[in-house]
Amino acid sequence: MENRRISYGIAVAALCGVVCLLVVSSPAAQQKAQTTNAAAKVVPKMTDGHPDFSGFYAGFVSGISQAEEGEAVIKRTSDGSIFFDYAGANEPQLAATKENENQPPYKPEYYKKVDELAKSMYGGNTILDPQYDCKPLGLPRASIGLIQIVQNPKSMAVLYEAAPGPVYRLIYTDGRQHPKDLDTSFFGHSIGHWEGDTLVVDTVGLNDETWLGVGQDGADNHTSLHSDKEHVVERWTRQGDTLTLEATVEDPVMFTKPWVTRPRRTKLAAEGDYIQPQMCLSVSKDHIIKPSEKDPKLICGWCVPEQLYGGTSDKVTTSERKKEAN
């Protein structure tokens, strides 16, 4: 089975060639109608009356920017043309420009360690990242990208297509408490309770082998350490086909105060789409670009170079920039 990232990349490339030629009448009215219809969808309920999150969610895939609140991946210009915001293979580099927006509140001694890790970052990646050794992403980094949710009144299973390999976590909603003799693990021990239509999930027992950064989301620092005393409280809500996850992270060892991540959203996949588990290969880290005398800074082919390297000229081609770098 072909890798989903490759297949989506091909599909998006084809889509770009089509949508840029479209002209839509009354674009503002159509966009408002689509938003209203999505929000108006009835959320299914379980037998106990609580929202049912079950389904395959694929609203965020590699190469396609996750829509922020008030933004859209497909944007219409004033003349009615459609622009598809495709970041391409270098989306992590674009995202890297945002990495200082929401930093965890480290104590001084731990900030120094994180700062040293950040210096190893190049183009939004570093070979020190535990995901390149195929270690599960942990929380809150795994987030809600490509996931299958299977839910009943007593528990909810979250199956990840690639985080970075096919992994899962269980959230118990049957009223149990955390075990007193809990061993740490990559996803810890999660228990949930309902506050209205919001599922509040409390997770402890997380090991210290993961980072806090949220993969290719990019808004939070990728090189974010945490201790095995990390405590994560998540709030899961569903409106129509959209699933929203908010998280607060406490770490009494490394943090000066709780850290609140920005909300993350995903949507139900198109009908007929399904989870396609992707195996992780640690050899991937051999392909990570590293700075060298011949390659002093990363040159990207899909992004807007000025956003990463400064300058205002739009007349310099990528090939010319590569010549300058060499």
Q: What is the pLDDT of residues 144-194, one digit of tens each?
A: 989 999 999 999 999 999 999 999 999 999 999 999 999 999 999 999 999
Q: Any idea what the Cα angle at residue 170 is, between residues 239 and 134, rounded to 5°?
A: 105
Q: Does residue 74 form part of some domain?
A: no
Q: Does residue 142 form part of some domain?
A: yes
Same domain, 241 and 180: yes
174/178 Cα distance (integer angstroms): 12
Same domain, 102 and 251: yes
- What is the span of the domain harbouring residue 234? 90-267
pLDDT at 300: 54
Same domain, 261 and 304: no
pLDDT in tens, 186-231: 999 999 999 999 999 999 999 999 999 743 344 445 678 999 999 9
> In this model, does residue 61 exceed pLDDT 50?
no
Q: How many domains does the chain have?
A: 2
Give burial (CB, 10 Å; 0-12/13-18/19+) of 50: middle
> In this model, does residue 106 exceed pLDDT 50?
yes
Same domain, 104 and 249: yes
Give the bridge partners for 195, in sequence order: 198
> In this model, does residue 312 exceed pLDDT 70?
no
Q: Which DSSP string do the residues of 241-254 spell out, in sequence order?
A: TEEEEEEEEE-TTT
pTM over cut 0.75: no
147 or 323: which leads in pLDDT: 147
310 or 96: which leads in pLDDT: 310
pLDDT in tens, 6-25: 444 444 444 444 444 443 34
CA 110 to chain CA centroid, nearest Å: 24
Same domain, 233 and 109: yes
Q: Does residue 56 form part of some domain?
A: no
Same domain, 297 and 165: no
Same domain, 229 and 100: yes
Same domain, 250 and 306: no
